[in-house]
């Protein structure tokens, strides 16, 4: 038979272990959610960058063109 003190200690350790496992599980779910979000944002960023490279009126595109011309003029 278990002594009264041992049963209480065991229950407390079990509760602590289960709380830690729940925290780890919650953190893993959050990490997976954030990874999915990062992948979606990277895909969106790549799509926008490709579109900006083709754009003739975007400041991004105009800066790239002027930098290329300046680099060519320096040679």
Q: Are 61 and 53 in contact (CB under 8 A)?
A: yes
The residue with greater pLDDT, 15 or 1, is 15
Nearest to 55 by CA among 65, 45, 44: 65
Rg, C-alpha atoms of the chain:
29
pLDDT digits (tens, 9 = 90+) for 15-70: 999 999 999 999 999 999 999 999 999 999 999 888 877 776 666 666 666 767 77
- Indicate the DSSP class of residue 57: S
User: What pLDDT was estimated at residue 8?
Assistant: 81
Q: How is residue 27 written in tokens? A: 């953190």
- pTM (two decimals): 0.56
The residue with greater pLDDT, 67 or 10, is 10
């Amino acid at each position: 038979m278990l002594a009264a003190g041992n049963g209480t200690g065991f229950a407390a350790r079990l509760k602590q272990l289960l709380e830690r496992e729940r925290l780890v599980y919650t953190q893993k779910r959050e990490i997976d959610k954030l990874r999915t979000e990062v992948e979606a944002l990277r895909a969106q960023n790549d799509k926008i960058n490709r579109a900006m490279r083709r754009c003739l009126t975007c400041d991004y595109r105009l800066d790239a063109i002027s930098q290329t011309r300046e680099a060519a003029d320096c040679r």
